[in-house]
Amino acid sequence: MTLISIASSIAIVLGFAGTLPHIRTMVLSRSSNGQSPTGWLIGILVNVMTGYVNLAGLGAVMLGVGNVIAGSFAAVALCCVIRYRGGSATPAADVAGAEAAAAAAPRPLATVHELPTGEFTAIKALIDEEHARRESFRVARLEPVVDADVAERAFADLGEPVAVAA
């Protein structure tokens, strides 16, 4: 095998290793949040062009077959993106609750950098929930501070007695 054949084989294996987990995740979660159809179209195009170079230019049949398989996986991923577009972020999402919330208030349009993906939205919700829990715990532990105590502590460094009206 030549160096180009070895490098191409490694690239095909890495392509499989990157594509299959994406397909699995989309199928299990029934969501393609965060996936771009354009990216998968580019993947198909690259595999077709590389397959042509491997088959016609180099005569490397095995590498060309690998490119055809990689292109097929990219096509399957593109179908998943189109099929599961706008799906739930988690497999256990409450469909009835989501439909009721969507019907109750239409969501405002967001700018491109504010578009939520399912994973980031779920993580943000968990972080917000944990923050609220910690804040409520912190507030519950605080003892009410009397104004006289605050004044006495504030002026204690000055060494002057402070008369506080009760």
Residue range 107-133, pLDDT digits in tens: 556 555 555 666 677 788 889 999 999
Residue among 112, 24, 31, 23 nearest 75 (CA): 23
CA 79/CA 23 separation, integer angstroms: 10
Q: Are 16 and 70 in contact (CB under 8 A)?
A: yes
Q: What is the CA radius of gyration of the chain?
A: 29
Residue 73: count of CB within 10 angstroms of its CB: 20
CA 22/CA 17 separation, integer angstroms: 9
DSSP 105: S
pLDDT tens, 79-103?
Answer: 999 988 876 554 444 445 555 555 5
pLDDT for 45: 93
pLDDT tens, 36-84?
Answer: 889 899 989 998 998 898 888 888 888 888 888 888 999 999 999 998 8
Query: What is the pLDDT averaged over residues 8-28?
Result: 84
pLDDT for 95: 47
pLDDT tens, 134-161?
Answer: 888 877 776 555 555 665 666 665 665 5
Q: Are 88 and 28 in contact (CB under 8 A)?
A: no
* Dihedral angle sign, alpha carbons of residues 102, 116, 26, 68: positive
Residue with tokens 């016609």: 56
